[in-house]
Amino acid sequence: MAGPPAAPIPPLSAAARRRSLEETLAAAPDRDALRLFAYGSLMWNPCFEVADRAVADVDGYHRSFSIWSVHARGTPEKPGLGLGLEARSGAQCRGIAFRLPPGTGEAALMELWEREMWIDCYRPVWIEAETGEGPVAAFTFAIDPAHPMHTGSLPLADQARYIAAARGKFGACADYLYETWDAMRREGVEDEEMRALVDAVRLQEARG
């Protein structure tokens, strides 16, 4: 089974990261009403100021553990997996639409870009998120399926095996999964694939 790339992926340059942020903000429908759709760790650990939040659905995407993690939640020898938002026909992903304070600009979002766009395995994209008060435009971080850190479609058993065994500089990969799952439950966000993965990782940990 293929694993992460043998050679380390270099980080984006500061100039490239800033350019990505500038281009994303330039495409905003309304700079004074910025929203971010969060589907993973940003639901429980945002690194930006939040004015409001709402449960939201996004069509055509699904949440998946399909990014190799060889530093944050794993190592090159024992890689973990990170969450991404992946395009899939007929899918729907439920997460949180955060509304940012009016006037939020590049300086306030640079920490977010350094966290999510350290390498370019994500593509910042604008999507339509359906909230209880109607549709809103939001940006989010979708997987680049051509990136070498993209795992492709891993069977559930393989995902569980990688997640249960991996630990990186930010802790155990399983804790990352559990904290995300706990945040989803607090927000009333259901996801049967995530529920199945949580159960599979717990079983893998119990087996040792």
Instruction: Give me the sign of the Cα torsion angle 85, 21, 173, 78.
Output: positive
User: CA 126 to CA 61: how far, in whole Å?
Assistant: 12
Residues in the chain: 208
User: What pLDDT is attached to residue 6?
Assistant: 84
Collapsing DSSP to helix, strand or coil, 80 comes out as strand
Structure confidence at residue 8 (pLDDT): 85
DSSP state of 150: B
C-alpha 80/C-alpha 73 separation (Å) is 6
Per-residue model confidence (pLDDT) at position 3: 84
What distance in Å separates the CA atoms of residue 88 and residue 59, rounded to the nearest whole number?
9
Give yes or no for residue 136 having a pLDDT over 70: yes
pLDDT tier, 7 (very low <50, low <70, confident <90, very high otherwise):
confident
pLDDT digits (tens, 9 = 90+) for 82-124: 999 999 999 999 999 999 999 999 999 999 999 999 999 999 9
Pairwise CA distance, residues 196 & 192, whole Å: 6
Q: Residues of the chain with pLDDT > 90: what percent?
A: 92
pLDDT tens, residue by residue, 148-168: 999 999 999 999 999 999 999
What span, in angstroms and rounded, lies between the C-alpha atoms of 176 and 82? 9
Which residues have a Cβ under 8 Å from the Cβ of 188 and sit 6 or more positions away? 55
Rounded-to-integer distance, Cα 154 and Cα 83, Å:
13
